[in-house]
Structure 1
């Protein structure tokens, strides 16, 4: 089951992201089989980093929590807030015609 995680950096901790970035990258490499996508978030394309977003593929929320518990940015206290949500993947389609089937089902209510 995919989970989406949004983490906002604590603005009172400038420099902490850069200081722990190498550890973070090592952790991402070690867990890449469970990472669907992820990366830094910015308000503007060329603006400063304000947080991180990940989509993780784990069976349970407990596994996601364990991932976060070992994540170097999280351990360092970089994040002001962390939101975890389970997501249903609609796009890209899991199988050809999936979205059309969903539309037909929706219209058939």
Structure 2
């Protein structure tokens, strides 16, 4: 099953992101779920990360929540709000 994880940073998000970025990247490289797409959400100028978006494949919503809660960004309180929803892919024009 696919799950969309939409995370919005708290006001101190940029500083916390910087402090925990390496741990976050290391975590994403060793996780048990399949990362389909992942990256930062940016402000309208494209200069500051204001959150994260991840599209993952997991066996259950519980696995998706556990994946998110294991992320160093989650543990460090980077995100003020996290929404996890099942995602129904109806169209995909990516080459791979």
Provide TM-score, normalisation by structure 1. Answer: 0.78
Relative to total residues, which structure has the larger helix share, 1 or 2? 1
What is aligned with 1:38?
Answer: 38
Number of residue-to-residue matches in the alignment: 93
Shift of 1:75: 0.5
Provide TM-score, normalisation by structure 2. Answer: 0.88
Runs of 4 or more above 4 Å deviation:
none
For structure 1, which runs of at least 5 residues remain unmatched after alignment? 94-109
C-alpha separation between the residues in 1 aligned to 2:14 and 2:48?
11
For structure 2, which runs of at least 5 residues remain unmatched after alignment? none
Q: Deviations over 1:3-48 (max 9, x none)?
A: 0010000014541100000000001111276100010010225321
RMSD over aligned Cα atoms = 1.7
Task: Note closer, same or farther for the CA distance 1:80–1:34 as it changes in structure 2 (3 Å cut).
Answer: same
Relative to total residues, which structure has the larger strand share, 1 or 2? 2
